[in-house]
Amino acid sequence: MKVEQIYTGCLAHGAYYITSKGEAAIVDPLREVQPYIDRAEKDGVKIKYIFETHFHADFVSGHLDLAKATGAKIVYGPTAKPSFAAHVAKDNEIFKLGDITIKVLHTPGHTLESSCFLLQDEHGMDDAVFTGDTLFVGDVGRPDLAQKAANMTKEELAGLLYESLRNKIMPLADEVIVYPAHGQGSACGKNMSKETVSTIGIQKQMNYALRADMSKEEFINEATAGLLPPPVYFPMNVKMNKEGYDSINDILKRATVPLSVTAFETAANETGALVLDTRDPNVFVKGFIPNSINIGLDGTFAPWVGALIRDIKQPILLVTDEGRESEAVIRMARVGYDHVIGYLEGGYEAWVNKGKETDTIETMSAEEFAQLYGSKAGLNILDVRRYSEYDNGHVVSAQYQALDYLNDNMAAIPKDKTCYLYCAGGYRSVIAASILKSRGYSKLVNINGGYSALRTTGIATEQYMNDAAMNSKR
């Protein structure tokens, strides 16, 4: 028996590859499935099952393409109603894989169909549990995402989750390994650890949701407190996972179309496509196509695409570093953005060589800004980090405006004053600056190195922000 976690940092997602006696199973696969197929062929095993812990909201799963390519059976827990051929298991149903078994534990709460899969070794002993979004390391799945589908309140769903954890998860032996679907950085929870594997015993000690003396009312209050609005793409991803989607191979064929500068410009003008520049932010600020948006491919690219591009069917034109076009398309498809219509052949350099108009974003070092800050009062400073980061420390007088909700709160940012932007290190502030630029803001300065660099200058900082101010910015 072998269990391998295949972790994708951009999505903070864990898929799992399980093998025993020539047979394999995949739990919660990513959309691009060829790596699983290649791995199984290399190991000389046949993929027999695809276990889905629930209809995912934060990514598009690869269950359909993988089943089509391998003949594997797709398995969901009780109450799931997929629009395609799948096995909807009963609670406690057993699946044989080589000489091990996998048992279904129905654990509603995050969603109604949410289920965990308990792996039992060749001796019938509980070995590990694949908990999906029911139990994370340090947290549990948020109970507010499935309210509409379940016709229930988040408090009612949290109540179900409490019962699921107490009746199905906590009775497991302390040494049982916990393999969750996500780690720190995922929007499916709020207090996840950077660790991506744990045990039941450790979680009973350190996870607030598994306190032995915790009442149901206490759990509901804690599980529902401080939940920010989910990213706008989540409902569409659920729909795609439940109803089906185009093959990733078909998406790659229609998206990786090289366009000359003339064809690229024509497509942008005639289709209303968004120009998405995926180059490094430090490169982007020095020169870019006017009105293009920067989301760097080397950061948490896909979740930011989902958080900031409101229309999942928005036509998109790509500007990438040479050779990274397919990577960008695949990573966007992971979160359901399937409408890339081509990329700029030759990249930004081709645009420049044709003598086309370009734009830049002014930048300033942390040291330069600290000197300016000390000599001039009333600067318009924008902190685009998340609230928890801002609350832990920010430049005195900096305005809080999380990048996640910039599109909703742009009217509060004055166009007639120079705006100095920072985040933690520079990735998000350039995204914010590019969005503002595309909306007609011209007086923008990005602070290189962000808050990490600012702290080293001795600039005045403070902690905390009142809840009323925070809520006004959500």
The pLDDT of residue 465? 60
* Contact call for residues 273 and 317 (beta carbons, < 8 A): yes
Specify the CATH number for 2-236; select among 3.30.70.360, 3.60.15.10, 3.50.50.60, 3.30.530.20.
Answer: 3.60.15.10
- Give CA separation, 224 vs 137, 217, 260, in Å: 18, 11, 50
CA 354/CA 215 separation, integer angstroms: 67
Task: Using DSSP bridges, classify how beta strands 177-180 and 198-199 pair: parallel, antiparallel or unpaired.
Answer: antiparallel
166 DSSP assignment: I
The pLDDT of residue 220? 98
The pLDDT of residue 362? 98
pLDDT tens digits for range 294-307: 999 999 999 999 99
The pLDDT of residue 211? 95
The pair of structure tokens assigned to 99 is 């000489």
The domain locations on the chain are: 2-236, 246-353, 362-472
The pLDDT of residue 253? 97
Per CATH, which fold does 246-353 belong to?
A: Oxidized Rhodanese; domain 1 (3.40.250)
CA 386/CA 61 separation, integer angstroms: 27
* Contact call for residues 377 and 349 (beta carbons, < 8 A): no
Tell me the pTM: 0.92
Q: Which residues of the chain are under the pLDDT cut of 50?
A: 467-474
Asked if 2-236 and 246-353 have one fold, the answer is no
pLDDT tens digits for range 322-355: 999 999 999 999 999 999 999 999 999 999 999 9
The β-bridge partners of 127 are none
DSSP per-residue codes, 34-100: HHHHHHHHHHT-EEEEEE-SS--SSS---HHHHHHHH-PEEEE-TT---SSS-EEPPTT-EEEETTE
The pLDDT of residue 188? 87
**CA pseudo-torsion sign 56, 57, 61, 64:** positive
For residue 198, give the 3-state DSSP assignment.
Answer: strand
CA 371/CA 196 separation, integer angstroms: 42
For residue 126, give the 3-state DSSP assignment.
Answer: strand
pLDDT tens digits for range 97-143: 999 999 999 999 999 999 999 999 999 999 999 999 999 999 999 99
State CA 467 to chain mean position distance.
26
The pLDDT of residue 467? 46
Residues 6+ apart with CB under 8 A from 448: 282, 363, 364, 365, 366, 426
Per CATH, which fold does 362-472 belong to?
A: Oxidized Rhodanese; domain 1 (3.40.250)
